[in-house]
Every structure is written in C-alpha cells, then in structure tokens.
Structure 1
Amino acid sequence: MSTRQTGERVSQLDRGTAESTHLADILAVNFATLMAAVLPDLPASAIHVLRESATLGITARMRVAANLMRLHGHGDADTWSRHPSDTVRGWACYLIGSDPGRSLEPALDALRPLADDAHFGVREWAWLAIRPQVAAEPLRALAHLLPWSVDRSPNVRRFACEALRPRGVWAAHITLFKQVPQHARDLLEALRCDGSRYVQDSVGNWLNDAGKTQPDWVRALCSAWQRQHADDPANRYIRSRALRRL
C-alpha cells in the first residue's frame, strides 16, 4: 500500500467511515479525531480529555470515551451499536458495560448482539466491557451465560467462554476460577466438542489459564475427555491447546 493509500486509510478510520482490519488498525485510531467527527457538537473540553488520554492503554481509553459520551448526553448505546465504525460500536459496548442503571444480567443481554457482531474487534470489546462486573460476581455471570454455550452462533458461545476466562487478555483476573476452576465444569463440558475453531481456541485458552494455578485439575479433566472423546478432532484440539506449556 502506498503512502497516499495508507494516509487515506487512517483518515477513514479516524472519520468513522471504515472498519479496522487488524489489531494495528484498532490501536492506531485517533479517538479525539473520531469522536469529533462522530459528535461534532461535543465541547472542546471533552475532545481535550480524549487527547490527554492517548497515553493510556486501549481499554482505559475505551472507558474514557464511553464516559464522555454519557456525560455529554450521548449515552444511548443502541444508536452507536449500529455505527459503521467498529471503534464506535466498541464505545457502545462500554456504554452498556459501565451503565450504572443496568445490573449484570440486563447488561449481558444488551451486549449479546454486539457479542455476535460481524467484526472481530467489537466481539472483543463486548466481553472486555463487562469483565469488571463478571469478575466481581463470577458465579452469577456463569449462571446467566451457561445457556449461551448452546447458542446457534459460535460468536455467542465463544463470548460465554471468553467472558469467564480465569485470566483473560487485557482484563481483570477471576480469582475464584483460578483457584476453583471446577465451578465452570458445566460450561466447559457444553463446549468440549464444539465444531467452531473460534470457540475451540477459547475453551483451550480457558483451561490453559486454569492450568497455571490448578494444573492437576486441568490434566485430570483432559484425561477424562481423552477417554470419552479420543476420536473427536475438536476435543483433541482443545486438549492440546489446554495442555500446552503445562
């Protein structure tokens, strides 16, 4: 791609007229420029806050953006969940996840369409946005998400697993599942032979997370699965991913 094409690509991302195609795109979006384009009536002081937050980590900047939108009367997540920009739809995730008027279950239900978004980045923002609440009440979240493990959409099934990972990525750890991973046995059993590689990766990573603190439990579970599902390629892949470096 030429320098001119690269410049136009960045401009489209910052204007909110194009979607990112990879992680580098996501991290390169200028939040201040994008929000000024999306919300031209926003006061200059709010845009200044976004510029000042540019040195923060990406998840912190997502929270700042959502808080500013709510503070200035643009907190309707439904509006932004349909925006052409995946970053703006990510802000919608954080508007839902940080909404003081939503308890855990309604927030999870509101995030469900975004968990099934066509864009990979939005699907990540969906679970990251609600992770603090999930980490605070993991068994309550587990009870609500367990039926999602049999949803028709692999994106929704993956959300159920990823949101509850003991360690996760860019997210608070769930101490209970690090110490007592067997609490999530029903969820893992529901996904143990999932036909989607997207889901398989998440299940394998879940168990690999748990194996850092409870390796014997993970080995025992994988041994049981090997006896029960020795010929299943999905389960074989999950076991291999779970036991890597264990």
Structure 2
Amino acid sequence: MTEKRKGARSIKDIPGDILEQLNKGEIETANLTEWLAVDQKLLLKNLLLQNNRTEYLKPILQNVDKLKKQTVNMVNETIGVGLLQYALKNQDEEFLLKLPAHPADLVRCWAAYTVGRNDTLKVKDKLKKLQTFALDSHFGVREICWMTVRPDISGNLIESVSILATWTTHTNENIRRFASESTRPRGVWCEHIAELKQNPGLGLEILEPLRSDSSRYVQDSVGNWLNDASKSQPEFVIEICDEWLRESPTKETQYIVKKALRTIRK
C-alpha cells in the first residue's frame, strides 16, 4: 500500500511510478523529500484538466514564472492565491469547495491559501475555516495553513490572539499548536510580527495555558515562541520561565523552558 510507505531519502531515489502519482495528485507525499520533489506546475495542470478548469492554467503559471525565487513555498502560495483569484473572478465556488478534500496534500495547501488570503472573509471567519486544515493528517498542510493567515493575524493581533487563546484548550494537539505557531514573533519562512517582538506579553493569553501541554509537538512550538521573543526581549522570557518553573515544575514545563532559553544560554 502506498499510503504506508516511508518515502525515499533523496529525490533521485523516488520510484518513477510514485513520482507520477504525486504529480497527478493521486496520492499525498510521504515525507519532506517527496514534498520538495513534486512538480507543482504539472500538478496544477493535472488538477485543472481533471476539473475542466484549464482556462486558469496559463495566467497562474505566468505569475509563477514572474517569481524571482521559485521556492516550494513561494510557488505554493502563488498557485493557491491564483486559484482563489480566478475562482472568485468566475464565481466558481464549486471548484473551491472541492480542493480541501483533495487526495494530494499540496492541493490542500493551495486550498488553505484560498481561505487565508480571501479578503472577502473577516479574520475570525478565516481562522474558523482554517481549523479544518490545522486538523489535517499531513505535516505540510498543517505548516502551510497558519502561514496563509499570518498577515491577518499580524494586522489584527489583539482580536486574533483572543480567538486563538480559545484554541489552547482544544482536545486536538494540532489545533493547540496552530494557536502558538501562527503567532510566533519571528516565525519560520514568514514575516516577523514586530508588535510581538517588542511586546511578547501580548501573547501570554495563548502561551500560559500551554506551558505544561502534554504534546511534544505543542511543547516545541511554545519553546520556539519564547526563544523567538528572547532575541529582542530576553528579560521578559527569563522572568516568564522562572515563574513557570515555580508554579508548574513538571517535566513538560522544564522541556519548554530549556527550549525557550537556548539562545540566551549560548
């Protein structure tokens, strides 16, 4: 069964039939190597052929070709935003509704952009719709989905933090992690949130409930959040870590604190 494969360690070792299935959108990637190997332009072509939307192909590919750097994430974003743009222009809601359940994880990433960058939606509505993607079984979709709404979170910080704070008690670790990861002051592969770099206390409404979270996936995110903050506000992070260790001396909190202080302790 292809669903249970571990995936090749290098792109050259990916079997030809697997790569063909990936580019046709028939299966999802098994690991980061496969994720990087997918020809997103070809995948887009196949998606549009399969859905009789070939008129979207040329203008979206033109936008991809204009990119100065065609990284996987930049191409992913450009295609996702392009699909949104042309679907809205053609009032093609039917097509957009198909994408979140597509077998290919990269198509589901594009689908996340059709939500996160849809300016007809308010930030609260975007976040609500993105929960589906935050719950996705695939690592790539979970990582991309918070990036799609990051500009809105930054531009509507107080409202976004208030909404995301309610996610910290969710039973699913992926939802809890989204709350933390999406608000990291420095983030990964995305613009920084200047307001949180200077005043990380604004994020405590999210961080406090997660300080002893049972999930290592969440713990890593919280530790990285505070490590981000330590690069501009080290005293704040030291104070918070000391407080957490006093009030919550669990192994989970100790792990988060160690991760949070790694830059300060260098």
What TM-score, normalized to structure 1? Answer: 0.93
- Equivalent of 1:237 in 255, 260, 265: 255
The answer to whether residue 247 in structure 2 is matched with residue 220 in structure 1 is no
**Native 8 Å contact 1:32 1:50 kept in 2:** no
What is the CA deviation profile of residues 107-164 of structure 1, one whole-angstrom value per residue up to 9, with x for unaligned ones?
A: 0101011111111110011101111111112111101111001001000000001111
Query: In structure 2, what is the Cα distance between the partners aligned to 1:86 and 1:238?
Result: 30
**Native 8 Å contact 1:149 1:157 kept in 2:** yes
Q: Which moved more, 1:13-22 or 1:208-217?
A: 13-22
Partner of 2:223: 204
Cα RMSD over matched residues? 2.0
Give how far 1:45 is off: 1.9
- Which runs of no fewer than 5 residues in structure 2 stay unpaired? 1-7
Partner of 2:3: none
Give how far 1:80 is off: 0.5
**Native 8 Å contact 1:96 1:107 kept in 2:** yes
How many residue pairs match? The answer is: 245
Question: Within 5 Å, which residues of 2 pair with 1:125-136?
Answer: 125-136=144-155
> Per the alignment, do residues 71 and 216 of structure 1 end up closer, same or farther by CA in structure 2, a change over 3 Å counting?
closer
Give how far 1:184 is off: 1.3
Query: In structure 2, what is the Cα distance between the partners aligned to 1:84 and 1:202?
Result: 27
- Equivalent of 1:58 in 55, 58, 72: 72
The answer to whether residue 18 in structure 2 is matched with residue 6 in structure 1 is no
Query: In structure 1, what is the Cα distance between the partners aligned to 2:220 and 2:168?
Result: 14
Partner of 1:42: 54
Amino acid of the structure 1 residue aligned with 2:204: R
**Native 8 Å contact 1:42 1:72 kept in 2:** no
> Per the alignment, do residues 51 and 185 of structure 1 end up closer, same or farther by CA in structure 2, a change over 3 Å counting?
closer
SS at match of 1:149: helix
Query: In structure 2, what is the Cα distance between the partners aligned to 1:199 and 1:51?
Result: 34
**Native 8 Å contact 1:31 1:51 kept in 2:** no
- Equivalent of 1:25 in 25, 34, 48: 34
Amino acid of the structure 2 residue aligned with 1:214: Q
SS at match of 2:119: coil
- Which runs of no fewer than 5 residues in structure 1 stay unpaired? none
The answer to whether residue 149 in structure 2 is matched with residue 140 in structure 1 is no
The answer to whether residue 83 in structure 2 is matched with residue 69 in structure 1 is yes
Give how far 1:9 is off: 2.0
Query: In structure 2, what is the Cα distance between the partners aligned to 1:56 and 1:151?
Result: 36
Query: In structure 2, what is the Cα distance between the partners aligned to 1:4 and 1:221?
Result: 47
Amino acid of the structure 2 residue aligned with 1:233: K
**Native 8 Å contact 1:211 1:218 kept in 2:** yes
SS at match of 1:81: helix
Partner of 2:4: none
> Per the alignment, do residues 172 and 17 of structure 1 end up closer, same or farther by CA in structure 2, a change over 3 Å counting?
same
> Per the alignment, do residues 187 and 68 of structure 1 end up closer, same or farther by CA in structure 2, a change over 3 Å counting?
closer
Amino acid of the structure 2 residue aligned with 1:220: E
